[in-house]
Structures are given as C-alpha cells and as structure tokens.
Amino acid sequence: MNEDNIQLTTRRAFIKTSGKIAAVSALAGVAIPHVHAAENNTIQIALIGCGGRGTGAAGNALTTKKGPVTLTAMVDVFENRMNTSYDTLKGKFGDLVDVPKDKRFIGFDGYKQAMDSMKKGDVAIFTTPLAFRWVHFKYAIEKGLNVFMEKPVTADGPTSRRMLELAEQAKAKNLKVGVGLMSRHARHLQELHKRVEDGEIGDVLLMRGYRMHGPVASAFSKKWPGTPSELLWQISRFHSFIWASGGCYSDFYIHHIDHLCWMKNAWPVKAQALGGRHYRNSPDGDLWVDQNFDSYAVEYTFEDGSKFYMDGRCNTGAHPMYFSHVHGSKGMAIAAKNGDYGGPSSIHKGQLPSRSSMTWQSNIPAAENDPYLNEWNDLMDAIRNDKPYNEVPFGVQASVVTSMGRMAAHTGQEITYDDMLNHPHEYAPGIDKWTMDSPPPVLSDKDGKYPVPMPGLKNDREY
Ligand SMILES: NC(=O)c1ccc[n+]([C@@H]2O[C@H](COP(=O)([O-])OP(=O)(O)OC[C@H]3O[C@@H](n4cnc5c(N)ncnc54)[C@H](O)[C@@H]3O)[C@@H](O)[C@H]2O)c1
C-alpha cells in the first residue's frame, strides 16, 4: 500500500476500528459490505473532455455498483460541449452530479484546476482527443489520482515511450488506471479468449479484422472555415488529423487490433500495408483537406510467422463489413460478430463459420455484458479493494501496433514494432504548453490543404 490510495483504505480502516469494532469482531470471517454514502467513502470524479464518450464514461462511472461516486469537476475547451454534457448528466443522475459553476473549467489548463480540486484516490477521466493523454496522465500521477483514459493512448513514438514511463510511475504509486479498450471487458470475448488460450482452435495461424463502412465522425474535413481558431477547429475535427487522433486508422481500428492480438496473446513484430484515398472531393464537389486515406489493408506478422490482416474503409456504397475472425490449426472462431465487440462469439470446426460447424457459442445475459460498464466496475473494484490495476502498458502496445500499421500504409514501407516505438517524429510537440492562441501543429497551405501521406515518396515520416 502506498500513499496514493491510502485515503480510501484509511477511511475503510477507520470505519472498521471506530464504533464498529465490536460488530466487526463478532462477525470475524464474514464479508461485510462496507461501502455506502454515510461512511464518507465517496469517490469523486473529474471529467476532462466533455464530448460524446466523456459524457458516456462519466455516466458509466455514476452507474457502477461498487460504492458511492459523485461527479464534481468538468473540463472542456468549448463551453457549449461542457454545457450539453452537464445538462445531460444532471438530467439523468441528479444529485450524483455536483459540479457548481466554479468547478466547470474551460481551457487547456482546466485539467490542472479540476485535478487540484480532487483528493488522492479520486478518479480523473480523460476523454479528449489522444494528443493530450500524456499531459493529463502526468499531472494525475503527481496528484495521486486514479485514472480512466480512452483509447487510443498514443499516435507516435516519443509519446508512446513517455506513456510507458508514466505507466511505471503510476504503478509505483499504486494508482489504478483503466484504458477504454472495452472489448477486453466484454464477457463473451473473455470467455472466447480463455477457450482459444486453452487450445480449442489449436495454434492461431491467421486473424482477420474488418471495419468497412461509409465516412463517419470527423474523418473527412472540408477547409477550415476561419472560425474558431485553426487549432480549436482541428481539435473539434480530431479524426481528420494524425497529431490529434492517429487519424481514422488509429481511432476506428484499434479495437479489432487490440482484441485480436489479445486472442493470440502476442503483438505483431512488423507490418506492411496498402492504402489510398480514392476521392478528394465531397459529393457536393468541395475539397477534402484532411490527412486520412479512405482505404487501408494492413498485413501484420507475428514472431512465429503467423498473420493478421486488418482492413479498414470509409467509402459510401462499398460493401460494408464489420467483424473479426480467428483461424487456428483445429478450427476457427468469430470474435466480434458485429462492430467493435458485439457478440455472440462462437467456435467452429474447420474454417467455415457456419451454424452446422459451430461447437460453442457464448450466452451471456445482456445485463452483465455492457463492456463500457464492466470496465468501470472492474476499475472501481480495484480501487476500493486495492487490487493491482494498470491497463496502460497494453493500451500503449495496442496503440503502437495500430500506429505501425498506419505508418506502413502511409509510407509504403515495412515498419517494425521497434521502428514505430523508437521513431523520433513527435506529432504535437510542446502540447503541454499550449494556450488558446497557439498555432496548430499542422498548418493549411494557400489552398486550405494539409500535408498528406505519400507512400514511396515520403518514406521516413507519415507526412
Ligand atoms: N471506447 C470507445 O468505444 C470510444 C468511443 C468513442 C470515442 N472514444 C474515444 O474517446 C475520445 C473522445 O472521443 P469523442 O467521440 O467523445 O469526441 P468528442 O469530440 O465528442 O469529445 C471530445 C471532447 O474533448 C474536448 N477537448 C478537446 N481537447 C481538450 C482539452 N485539451 N482539454 C479539455 N477538453 C478538450 C472537446 O472539446 C470535446 O468536447 C477519443 O480518444 C475517442 O477515440 C472511444
């Protein structure tokens, strides 16, 4: 036990030794439910990044069944995003949302003010675009706060190395850290993982992930309209910019990449890839100026020579596919039947995923299988019962593997895991010192266009 989770534990110890000691002795050996609001062991939550996922994650935190939780601080760089999030959460959770106006912070420094208002052992939620993760994580560690951070956690080599170091610091301070790779908290995928690990489909030889649909989120962008500032506009359209999100490849495909590698219990050692942008004009004829390709086909290779193919596409009208499969020497498995993690998962004889070849199918009651809620219950359980919990190392590894596939497509080169991790190009240098007036790390040219990948021509950097 060290000082950063000591307050919670101290409160528990205090409860056990004051007034209730007789009852505790009489009930020695009996599990005592120790967590309710009157015992003042409420965990305070700060939400940093009040958009769609942040509002969802705060809602998940307030829905956990592991003890009292209150949202007490909120941060965003846009006041309207903050207001919408506050109204939604207040409307749904009432008194569990206790964020007076002076605890609602707007601006790049807001994370400091919010975390300064917390006590050790509380939880900070990071749901801004990924570029800010290391900045916020570093401060949370200094303040002794537990963390839930969304995926991906890095897009480049320097910040990946930094996050791995920070993960060690968090571990040394016994902080609990969850990462939003929620497939790993989907009970059907956990069951499949166990079965694959136990050899039910033999040696894993090939895996396939597909996320192919029309353009979504802010993957494609028209020219900066001149307001808000170019920096804030890029932040609001973060899927368009590699510095902010790792682009659509990292933001959209990391879930399949993570859960398939988890099925094999290994990370690939290298990647080579195809990718391109078919259309640089919107259906109404305007120029798209973002940095993404609309098609990616990445071949990952594991140390044992086995392969994993990840296909991603954002094209209207093209054949949609969104699922993941695992092929072994004795059979195959459907991991995500639909979307990033959707079940049921199943195992089949041979290599055809037909009903007649099925030997097992997961059957988890829906009430137990919301992975967004499960990941919060698991984190809160670790905090309240002082269990080791740090998902950052695999969160970084999944992010590096994702980035290496993206970089292989963007450069047209074979990229190894070590190439990606040790690459010197930092995409948002000095981000910890940004103010509202800072210039963005990529600037538009006279036509409003941003630098794009040019495989075979720009070979050692993505742009
Ligand atoms: N696990 C999942 O299934 C899942 C789903 C959606 C999003 N996400 C992840 O969550 C993150 C946010 O995605 P989203 O869809 O909620 O985006 P969003 O744009 O809806 O929300 C991001 C919010 O962060 C704010 N913000 C940006 N920079 C900030 C800063 N420096 N300080 C404070 N606030 C800042 C933005 O103004 C915005 O309100 C991304 O990393 C995304 O990949 C994960």
- pLDDT tens for residues 381-392? 999 999 999 999
Biggest distance spanned by C-alpha atoms of the chain: 78
Give me the pLDDT at residue 54, please: 98
Helix (H) or strand (E) holding 308, with range, is strand 307-314
Q: CA 288, CA 186: separation in Å to the nearest integer? A: 36
Q: CA 104, CA 74: separation in Å to the nearest integer? A: 5
- The pTM of the full predicted model, rounded to 2 decimals, is 0.92
Task: Give the model confidence (pLDDT) of 147-199 as tens digits.
Answer: 999 999 999 999 999 999 999 999 999 999 999 999 999 999 999 999 999 99
Indicate if ligand 1 lies below 6 Å from the C-beta of 128. yes
Task: Give the model confidence (pLDDT) of 59-100 as tens digits.
Answer: 999 999 888 999 999 999 999 999 999 999 999 999 999 999
Give me the pLDDT at residue 66, please: 85
Indicate if ligand 1 lies below 6 Å from the C-beta of 153. no
Indicate if ligand 1 lies below 6 Å from the C-beta of 249. no
Indicate if ligand 1 lies below 6 Å from the C-beta of 130. yes
Which segment of 23-32, 273-282, 295-304, 441-450 scores lowest on mean pLDDT? 23-32
CA of 52 to the centre of ligand 1 (A): 7
60 by DSSP, 3-state: which? helix
- Give me the sheet containing 346-349, strands edge to edge: 358-361, 346-349, 331-334, 321-328, 204-213, 307-314, 295-301, 270-276, 415-416
Neighbours of 459 (CB within 10 A): 11
Q: CA 351, CA 325: separation in Å to the nearest integer? A: 10
Give me the pLDDT at residue 345, please: 98
Domains identified in the chain and CATH numbers:
3-25+33-183+373-390 (3.40.50.720), 184-368+399-433 (3.30.360.10)
222 has pLDDT over 60: yes
Residue 27: pLDDT band with limits 50, 70, 90: very low
2 has pLDDT over 80: no
Task: Give the model confidence (pLDDT) of 318-354 as tens digits.
Answer: 999 999 999 999 999 999 999 999 999 999 999 999 9
Task: Give the model confidence (pLDDT) of 449-458 as tens digits.
Answer: 999 999 999 9
Instruction: Name the residue among 271, 261, 270, 257 with its Cα closest to residue 204.
Output: 261
Give me the pLDDT at residue 40, please: 66
Position in ligand 1 atom list of the atom nearest CA 54? 16
The residue written with tokens 């969304």 in the block is 150
If you count them, how many residues does the chain have?
463
